[in-house]
Chain A
Amino acid sequence: AQSVSQHNHHVILSEAASLELGCNYSYGGTVNLFWYVQYPGQHLQLLLKYFSGDPLVKGIKGFEAEFIKSKFSFNLRKPSVQWSDTAEYFCAVKDNDMRFGAGTRLTVKP
C-alpha cells in the first residue's frame, strides 16, 4: 500500500525566513498530489495540487510545490513566511484513495 511521509513534525521559523516542507510517497504509479493547510481552529483547506504538466505548481498565499518524479517527492516551499502561516500542513497522495502524511506543524515567530 502506498504511504506518505512528512519528515518534519514541527518546524519553527522566524518571519521572512524561507520554508521548505518535505513530502515523499511510496507509490510508483500515476498519482495526484496535494498540500492542505489547517489553521488553528479551522478545517482543512487546499493549498495546491498537481495532476500533470508543469511540475512546479503555484498555490494560494505564495506557496508552491515541486513534483520530482525520480525522487517521489512533492515538497512545499514559500520564500518568505509570515506569522499568519502558523498552521498544520498535510501532504496527500491519491491514486484510488487519498492518503495523508502525518502533518507538519509550522510555527512562525513574529
Chain B
Amino acid sequence: GAVVSQHPSRVICKSGTSVKIECRSLDFQATTMFWYRQFPKKSLMLMATSNEGSKATYEQGVEKDKFLINHASLTLSTLTVTSAHPEDSSFYICSATPTGGALFYGYTFGSGTRLTVV
C-alpha cells in the first residue's frame, strides 16, 4: 500500500517553455503532498506544501509564480515549472502520506522527475 506515482520520470524542455509534473497517490487519499528539489551533492530541499482545495504553502526563497502547484483532488497534485530556464534543471520529488495516517507511515515518495532545460 501507500504508493505514490510521479510522472514523467524524465523531461527535456526548451528554455522558456513550461513543464507540468504530476504526483498521484494510487491507493490512498492525501490531503497534503510535498514537493522537493534535490540538488547534486546537496540535501533535499522542501519547496512547498500542497494542500487539497487550498493554496500551496511555499518555503522561503521559492518563487510561487514560477513553481505553480495545484492540488485539485485528494489523489493528485501537480507542479508546473513555468518559463523554465537551465538553472531550473534538477530532480524534483513529491511525497505524500495517507490522510490521518502520518503517525503510522513514513512519507511515501514518488520516483522523481529529472528535468533538463536546454
The CA-CA distance from A42 to B41 in the complex, in Å, is 16
Contact with B along A18-45 (1 / 0, CB 8 A): 0000000000000000101000001111
A98–B103 touching, CB < 8 Å:
no
Shortest Cβ distance from A90 into B: residue: B44
The CA-CA distance from A9 to B42 in the complex, in Å, is 10
Q: Which of A61-69, A70-78, A79-87, A100-108 has 4 or more CB atoms under 8 Å from chain B?
A: A100-108
Given that A43-B93, A51-B103, A97-B49 are contacting pairs, would A102 and B110 also be in contact in the complex, using a CB cutoff of 8 Å?
no
B54 at interface, CB cutoff 8 A: no
The CA-CA distance from A101 to B41 in the complex, in Å, is 11
B67 at interface, CB cutoff 8 A: no
Residues of B within 8 A of A9 (CB): 41
Given that A34-B106, A49-B106 are contacting pairs, would A101 and B43 also be in contact in the complex, using a CB cutoff of 8 Å?
yes
Chain A interface residue count: which class?
10 to 19
Q: A interface, by DSSP: helix, strand, loop or mixed? A: strand
CB distance from B27 to the nearest CB of A (A): 16
Given that A49-B106, A97-B49, A98-B34 are contacting pairs, would A42 and B42 also be in contact in the complex, using a CB cutoff of 8 Å?
no
Residues of B within 8 A of A4 (CB): 43
The CA-CA distance from A45 to B46 in the complex, in Å, is 17
A99 touches which one: B42, B46, B110 (CB < 8 A)?
B46
B107 at interface, CB cutoff 8 A: yes
* Interchain Cβ contacts under 8 Å between A and B, 20 examples: A9-B41, A34-B107, A36-B106, A36-B109, A43-B109, A44-B93, A44-B109, A46-B106, A46-B107, A51-B103, A90-B43, A97-B46, A98-B34, A99-B46, A100-B43, A100-B44, A100-B46, A101-B43, A102-B42, A103-B44
